[in-house]
Chains A and B, each alone.
Chain A
């Protein structure tokens, strides 16, 4: 116990606290700006870690990471644009609430849910790290394929009012994922001989285009219509809405379920915050007492989405530390930073570098506290963004979209992708088609294809691999039950008409 206290004491140094503060602020702001994402923020922080001790380096990177994921929800609520792909689900309810003048409440929900899940994730990391890691290793290609199919099914069946539109949106997303290099052999598909298309459609510009640019188009056409009819378009004033802790904790079931989904997905190498938030949102809608509120401004929906994506953060450390296998792109960057420090993550890191690990755990909790405090302060000031006249706000957003899309890869191709995605998003919004299934189909499309190919190679084209393990069988049963129950509900509803 004494040595633990010593470690805690050595972690509460001014330097570490300042690093966490700077990292949190930087991460939150970058996460909130559409077009820039958390991976970029973490990558920028790497050269700074060259001059730091291991625990300090991890503290900085963790702060940037966690706050970056949370920061995506800020622009999701205020601007209707997810700052990071993981916040795409938060847009639906968050932005709807902002339009109703309840922006502060939505921001509060996102913040509390993120912090809650962060703490849960940290705790599970500390208590079960190696066990969970061993379990994650049991996820072979067939299990991964089924997981992706499960995610797609869940999101398509539940995400919207019209089943047909949801499925269509998923298929469009999957088709978009096919553009570019074949995930296995690298042979080009639908690239029209253009080398830029080898990587297919880039994710962030598509995200920014479909959510942000399309919204600007929609708002502009609404404005034109309103002007034509002589009405004035007023800016929703934010009524001093707050989220009471009592109301927040009334959703404890959703919070715990979403955090656990986040932790589970985060522990699997390869899956990320977006998958977790989509699955969690859809599951929450299925089991909610007020499913019709989802999409119109449900606090529960925001909690589900944000808890899941932050739950992933804590769990992503599990495969990183115990197996030396990064759980997602950002932990892959952290892996590089650790290697640069001379630390080899893997089975021996707990015995050989036990002190560093304990120090890391402590800093993770400090990060959560900072996130809560900074989040509250930042949100209070940022809500004033809503009071900016749209004539000024939207052009600024547009500039940020263009600049952000360009900055990832320094190429105008990405900007072109963003514009086309914007037009597509506009069409979606006009015909009331949900964007979320397209996004998840796009994100998961290549993963599913890869896992499917790997499964078939492993089993030498024998389909029984998909029921070849307890995990796989469990997934198959769940998927069949979900589809079955949806169809049954449909049949019942038709009979009643």
Chain B
């Protein structure tokens, strides 16, 4: 009987050790990444600009990693469905990344009352950005944005500016109006194509597309002019167009595309990933493909990207609330 009790005691002491295998999350920096197929979730439809960027990244990454890198489209909700899926994922193993864009991460959570925020993500790195500009047809009487602002101040509410309602361009243009006291009305369009159609058809007076490149053909032909840019520096192809920053407005801004993982990914793995993906993002092959897609390679490291997203989230939150567009 005594022997049985001793045996039982030993069993009770030994058994737990069999289960205490040590947490798999304690990944050391020496671990190999990636060792298997990687998935890039693109929250936009196949064939669109973000999708092409995602596929460019995937093809360069695959060549470098030696293992498959696949783009999976998960569109819907203006890119929020795919974004939310990654945000709320508990499987942070580093093999599923989001190709994130600014609207879904910093603007739409406020206007649509979504269940996620930048806190649900850890940024791996910013890949590229586009130049936003303000366009109008060549026959309009304004040559720079200051002309337009004076005109709009004199005629409040007369002018229609086309941009997606409640979206990034709307918010920025509203800020510009608030700074100057100009008043305008928004003509809502869904995307850059509709925006250009509205401008060319004379339906709207000014347009703020996601990227002024949508009108590249008309700009070259002299049918459309760019009144100002939202970027830091002047564009090489438009040497005479000022930036809003130059004109004295604190509105330097470029819609970006970044790679992100869910917050459930352990920090040590995120560090490793940042290093690995930096090489992909800064590679000359990717730069060449991005340039073809009219995207500017614009690398920011993971930590800075995270800070940028959080700052923009906070900033836009305030503007959206003051515009009365916050979700109830």
Contacts and interface: CB of A to CB of B under 8 A. Distances in A.
Interface of A: 39-40, 42-44, 46-47, 50, 137-141, 181, 183-188, 195-196, 198-199, 202, 269-270, 323-326, 329, 332-333, 336, 339-342, 344-349, 409-411, 450, 453-454, 457-458
Interface string B72-101: 111111101100100000000000000000
Given A43-B47, A339-B292, A457-B160, 6 more contacts: A141-B203, A181-B78, A324-B216, A333-B48, A345-B217, A450-B188
B311 interface: no
Q: Sorted from nearest, which 7 A-B pairs have the closest CB atoms?
A: A346-B217, A333-B47, A43-B46, A198-B77, A199-B76, A347-B221, A324-B217
Contacts of B186: 457
B201 A137 contact: yes
B47 A457 contact: no
- Most chain B CB inside 10 Å of its own CB: which residue of A46, A341, A450, A454: A454
B194 to A, nearest CB: 7
Interface of B: 45-49, 51-52, 55, 59, 72-78, 80-81, 84, 108, 111-112, 114-115, 160, 165-166, 185-190, 193-194, 196-197, 200-203, 214-218, 220-221, 223, 289, 292-294, 325, 327
A140 B292 contact: no
B217 A199 contact: no
A195 B81 contact: yes
Contacts of B76: 196, 198-199, 202, 409
A39 B46 contact: yes
Given A138-B201, A185-B166, A336-B48, A411 B74 contact: yes
B165 A186 contact: yes
Contact of A346 (B45, B114, B221, B325): B221
A46 B218 contact: no
A457 B201 contact: no
B293 A325 contact: no
A195 B114 contact: yes
Contacts of B203: 140-141, 454, 458
Nearest to A326: B193
Contacts of A410: 72-74
- Most chain A CB inside 10 Å of its own CB: which residue of B72, B200, B325: B200
20 contacts: A43-B45, A46-B55, A50-B289, A137-B197, A137-B201, A181-B78, A187-B327, A195-B77, A196-B81, A269-B193, A324-B196, A324-B215, A326-B193, A332-B48, A336-B47, A336-B49, A339-B294, A340-B52, A340-B293, A453-B188
Contacts of A39: 45-47
A180 B59 CA distance: 34
A186 B166 contact: yes
A258 B221 CA distance: 35
- Most chain A CB inside 10 Å of its own CB: which residue of B77, B221, B223: B77
A178 to B, nearest CB: 16
Contacts of A187: 111-112, 327
Contacts of A44: 46
Given A324-B215, A333-B47, A184 B77 contact: no
A453 B185 CA distance: 13
A252 B146 CA distance: 59
B47 A46 contact: yes
A172 to B, nearest CB: 23
Contacts of B84: 195
A137 B194 CA distance: 11
A185 B72 contact: no
Contacts of B165: 184-186
Contacts of B187: 454, 457-458
Given A187-B112, A270-B194, A348 B160 contact: no
B221 A348 contact: yes
- Most chain B CB inside 10 Å of its own CB: which residue of A39, A138, A326, A457: A457
A254 B308 CA distance: 59
A332 B193 contact: yes
Contacts of A43: 45-47, 51
A188 B115 CA distance: 14
Contacts of A458: 160, 187, 203
Contacts of A181: 77-78, 112
A325 B47 CA distance: 15
